[in-house]
Structure 1
Amino acid sequence: MTAHLQLAELVTACHWIGAKGWAPATSGNMSMREDDVHCLLSESGKDKGSLTANDFIRVEIASNRAPSGRKPSAETGLHTLIYRLFPDAGAVLHTHTVNSTVLSRVEKSDVLILQGYEMQKSLSGQTTHLDTLPIAIFDNDQDIEKLASRIEHYACENPLRYGFLLRGHGLTCWGKNVAQARQHLEGLEFLFECEMQRRLLERT
């Protein structure tokens, strides 16, 4: 798929995310790999439900620099980190949903363990509900460079697949292309909602 068509698919995904309320009040950021050197990242302060192709900014993956001088997302460094860590990553979606935000605070450890859910198979490479699916949780930080460094250090020693949670913040997930990133987002959000409901019911 050409970069132009992939960007059109990303815009559609952003409208879908906006309609679900998964990126409220201009929050969240989305991107796609354009080539080995650049990614296209949503501009800061834009409503994700009404983005157009013109709202995406070319950013250098190695340096986080936007040659145009326009302002990409505050979390640019997390997107470029994923593209550097995972050469197969073609799109990154970062959302602020209630389930991911609350669950990341309820879970006190640095990993959320999911197991026993059939919908685990919505994630690429997962073939059974019996697998243990770990989702890393990182404490939030307004210093994105520092946060990216912590995530990179973790990824050097631990498997980091599909996505991660930022505590009290939201979910960042990725895939080989926009379609797979969107599938991972929807699958993870379903799993987070199930886990939230399970924990609530166990307390009653």
Structure 2
Amino acid sequence: MVPADVAEALAEAGRRMDSHGWVPGSAGNLSARLDDKHIAITRSGVHKGRMVPHTDIIAVDFEGQPLVDDQKPSAETLLHCQLYRLFPPVGAVLHGHSIAATVLSLEGPITFSNYELLKAFGFTTHELDIPLPVYNNDQDIARLAQLIEPDLQAAPPIGYVIAGHGVYAWGTNVEHAYWRLEALEFLISCELERRQMK
């Protein structure tokens, strides 16, 4: 169901995320667009640093329903589907649970100001104040998606964070999504350290 190159690209991203400690246990989820109706996404309950591409990455439709009945996708699949549905250029979505994102998101709003790495998101200057939306965690993913959607439609952010949970990043393909995630994680770590120095 999932092309081998797509599955391997997601598995490799999972290994890279694991090397940074961003996907402990079975945390995190990774996905890639297959076409205008389907995505590939990590199966529920697998370690993202040790995935077997042909069994741990499965295909679902934009409603989050697996194409193979006995397969169970990530619990947060609808948050991925939402991004593909709203933004046709999105080709991959990565979600991790780094220490920095988990901790900083519990402290309230996050704004990145005057960081050179903001240019990684297409800005032409560092002299900016860029908010990173933080949403309260909710085990009802459909309800959480409904809360997030108006913000995505109004002004697509550079990513977002679920409080006490982790960050969502996306890009045109898996590699692009990975380096945007890497840039976000760097900025989040900088902001956490900056606050601790005060």
TM-score range (shorter-chain normalised) is: over 0.9
Q: Does 1:88 align with 2:84?
A: no
3-state SS in 1 of match to 2:95: strand
Letter matched to residue 73 of structure 2: P
3-state SS in 1 of match to 2:25: helix
Letter matched to residue 200 of structure 1: Q
**How far off is 1:32 after superposition?**
0.3
List aligned pairs for 1:1-80, cutoff 5 A. 4-54=4-54, 55-61=56-62, 63-69=63-69, 70-80=71-81
Spell out, residue by residue over 1:50-70, the C-alpha distance to the aligned partner (whole angstroms, 9 max, x if none).
112221110001x21112020
**How far off is 1:156 after superposition?**
2.8
Q: 2:151: which partner in 1?
A: 154
Name which of 112, 115, 137 aligns with 1:114.
112
Spell out, residue by residue over 1:101-149, the C-alpha distance to the aligned partner (whole angstroms, 9 max, x if none).
1111112x4xx210111111222x1221112211111111000000000
> Which has the higher mean CA deviation after the structures are superposed, 71-80 or 112-121?
112-121
Q: 1:174: which partner in 2?
A: 170
Residues of 2 paired with 1:43 and 1:7: CA distance?
Answer: 11
**How far off is 1:72 after superposition?**
0.3
RMSD: 1.4
Residues of 2 paired with 1:87 and 1:7: CA distance?
Answer: 20
- Provide TM-score, normalisation by structure 1: 0.91
Letter matched to residue 115 of structure 1: S
Count of residue pairs brought into register by the alignment: 195
**How far off is 1:162 after superposition?**
2.8
Spell out, residue by residue over 1:62-92, the C-alpha distance to the aligned partner (whole angstroms, 9 max, x if none).
x211120200000011010111111110000
Q: 2:188: which partner in 1?
A: 192
- Provide TM-score, normalisation by structure 2: 0.94
1:162–1:175 Cα contact (<8 Å) kept = no
**How far off is 1:19 after superposition?**
1.6
Residues of 2 paired with 1:99 and 1:133: CA distance?
Answer: 18
**How far off is 1:160 after superposition?**
2.2
- The answer for unaligned runs of 5 or more in structure 2 is none
Residues of 2 paired with 1:140 and 1:201: CA distance?
Answer: 27
3-state SS in 2 of match to 1:48: coil
Letter matched to residue 112 of structure 2: L
Residues of 2 paired with 1:53 and 1:148: CA distance?
Answer: 27
C-alpha distance 199-77 of structure 1, shift in aligned 2 (>3 A): same
1:59–1:67 Cα contact (<8 Å) kept = yes
1:136–1:160 Cα contact (<8 Å) kept = no
Residues of 2 paired with 1:4 and 1:133: CA distance?
Answer: 37
